[in-house]
Structure 1
Amino acid sequence: MDSSHSVKESGDIAIPVTEVKSFKSRKGGPPFMAASTVRLGDVPHGAGWKRGVGIIDLILRICAIVATLAAAAVMGTTSQNLPFFTQLFQFQASYDDFPTFTFFLAGNAITCAYLALSLPFSIVCIVRPHIVGARMLLLIFDTLALALTMAAASAAAAIVYLAHNGNPNTNWPALCQQFNQFCPRVSGAVVGSFLAVAILVVLVVLSAAALRRN
């Protein structure tokens, strides 16, 4: 039995295909089969599309890291003192005076850390577009991060709304009339967190679409 091998050099995945040939014996005996292996360097179906999704996924993760990091940093460094008659008597507003803002800081910090740790998995999805395990792992944890960030941003947004507008029915004063530096900073932090929420929604949709095409 003779066998010949032809290999096409390419960066794509090689698919082995067996070619079977039939020969007659010179002495009139039964025919014998000769098998030869041919490797085809065809590009797997949908690999280019999935690689493009992986590149977009990586870019969006970096943007979400920046958004959550900025939101946590701004919230964690926000405080303002108001003098009352003398410097010995002051009104102070700080993020840690509000448990909701503390939860906001922790939620965005956790999401930022997760997104940083997920970057290697996103790179793996670019190198190996048809991998399922890493993409499924990202989909699950992206959904959890989305829920955490949404909860933190929504809770903080409610406090910011009350700080800007107050609530006369419960005698809640509009604090932003006095704390004109504190409120813009926490408002900006909430906006950054909602931006991260939007990016996480896109990441979840991209992961689900990539898994559906497998």
Structure 2
Amino acid sequence: MKSGPIELGESKSLSPKAGVRRGVSILDFILRILAFIGTLGSAIAMATTNETLPFSTQFIRFRAEYDDLLTLTFFVAANGVVSAYLLFSLSISIFNIVRSNAQSSRILLVILDTAMLGLLTAGASAAAAIVYLAHNGNARANWFPICQQFNSFCERISGSLIGSFIGVAVLILLILLSAVALSRRK
């Protein structure tokens, strides 16, 4: 221990463990922002997807919209819920940066992240099945591929899956990161 008065400008330095915890918390915050951008972008891209094709006359048109299929509507809802959760969880992540010893908030995030991972995976996987059918069809079910006619529609719904699956991967990383941070507390 150092004896004598403390000089101005001298500050307590963080212990190496606290510095690592703070770094993990900052990485957690950055990954949450990345997942938020991916899921919000996917929801917006899918929700604004539609295409209209003219038929032989100007009065008859074929239109494809995301809400024609309940699976794609579920995809938008799931991505919207996960985006809202990720926005909310940013405040808890900031709390973990400030108080790097907080353990109960990190446990709460692991539980909620796992639930959101399940929801997002369900929505993205269901939408991926529909996108596959839109591209390739199914001869046994008389489902014809529609992407030859609705090319722009199919490109947008396929592209919106990318952000959602990025969100899935980032949520997996967040869960693993939190689990590692919790296991190294002692």
TM-score (norm 2): 0.92
Is 1:127 aligned to 2:98, yes or no? yes
Count of aligned pairs between the two proteins = 180
| 1:76-112 per-position Cα deviation (integer Å, ceiling 9, x unaligned) | 0001111111121111110000000000000000000
Kindly state the Cα deviation for residue 120 of structure 1 after the two structures are TM-superposed.
1.1
- What residue ranges of structure 2 are gaps of 5+ in the alignment? none
**Alignment-derived partner of residue 132 in structure 2:** 161
Kindly state the Cα deviation for residue 209 of structure 1 after the two structures are TM-superposed.
0.5
**Alignment-derived partner of residue 161 in structure 2:** 190
Structure with greater strand percent: 1
Q: 1:151 aligns with which of 122, 137, 143?
A: 122
Q: 1:91–1:7: structure 2 CA closer, same or farther, 3 Å change rule?
A: farther
Q: Percent identity?
A: 53
**Alignment-derived partner of residue 22 in structure 1:** none
| 1:51-97 per-position Cα deviation (integer Å, ceiling 9, x unaligned) | 11101100011111110110000000001111111121111110000
2:101 is paired with a residue of what secondary structure?
A: coil
CA distance in 1, matches of 2:87, 2:12: 29
TM-score (norm 1): 0.80
Task: Decide which structure has the larger Cα Rg and report it.
Answer: 1
Counterparts of 1:87-126 in structure 2, within 5 Å, are 87-126=58-97
Kindly state the Cα deviation for residue 11 of structure 1 after the two structures are TM-superposed.
4.1
Counterparts of 1:1-214 in structure 2, within 5 Å, are 10-11=11-12, 43-44=14-15, 46-214=17-185
Q: Which runs of 4+ in 1 moved over 2 A?
A: 5-12
Q: 1:140–1:92: structure 2 CA closer, same or farther, 3 Å change rule?
A: same
1:175 is paired with a residue of what secondary structure?
A: coil
CA distance in 2, matches of 1:7, 1:107: 58
- What residue ranges of structure 1 are gaps of 5+ in the alignment? 13-42
Q: 1:6–1:144: structure 2 CA closer, same or farther, 3 Å change rule?
A: farther
Higher relative contact order (CA 8 A, sep 6+): 2
CA distance in 1, matches of 2:35, 2:184: 25
- CA RMSD of the aligned region, Å? 1.5
| 1:140-177 per-position Cα deviation (integer Å, ceiling 9, x unaligned) | 11111111100000000000000000011111100001
Kindly state the Cα deviation for residue 10 of structure 1 after the two structures are TM-superposed.
3.2
Structure with greater helix percent: 2
